[in-house]
């Protein structure tokens, strides 16, 4: 698998990433938890090292699945998660205040059960 560097961060990831939204969020359907974990682990075994999730997927449950699935590979993968919606629900509105960023980061770390490589502001609202 080819690798890419992410900007000036020093992080190196697989040229192909794995967007995790469809595991349990898209169209209200998804894989059961065991199948989702198996799929993520198979992706790692095939050389995928970059995984993208968000607190809004589920909401919250996608990060939990990703965290559990990737725990055994934590030193070998890069995890990005997105935030920016009030209560992790896009329909409720946007929230990118500094206190929200801190709270979201702490909650994502707990759900992912690990360190977080990238925190991505998916929606911006003036503060």
* Positions marked catalytic: 57
Neighbours of 121 (CB within 10 A): 13
Q: Using only C-alpha atoms, what is the Rg of the chain?
A: 14
Helix (H, G, I), strand (E, B) or coil at 61: helix
Query: Which residues lie below 8 Å from residue 106, measured CB to CB, with a gap of 6+?
Result: none
Helix (H, G, I), strand (E, B) or coil at 54: strand
The CA dihedral of 112, 26, 19, 104, to the nearest 10 degrees, is: -40
Task: Report the distance separating Cα 88 and Cα 104, nearest Å.
Answer: 9
């Amino acid at each position: 698998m080819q690798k890419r560097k992410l900007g000036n961060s020093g992080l190196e990831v697989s040229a192909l990433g794995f967007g995790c939204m469809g595991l349990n969020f898209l169209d209200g359907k998804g894989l059961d938890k065991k199948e989702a974990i198996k799929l993520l682990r198979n992706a790692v075994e095939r050389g995928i090292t970059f995984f993208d999730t968000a607190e809004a997927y589920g909401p919250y449950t996608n990060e939990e699945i990703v965290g559990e699935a990737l725990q055994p590979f934590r030193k070998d993968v890069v995890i990005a998660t997105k935030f920016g919606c009030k209560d992790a629900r896009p329909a409720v509105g946007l929230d990118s205040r500094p206190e929200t960023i801190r709270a979201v980061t702490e909650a994502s770390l707990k759900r992912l059960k690990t360190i977080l490589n990238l925190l991505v502001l998916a929606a911006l609202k003036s503060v």
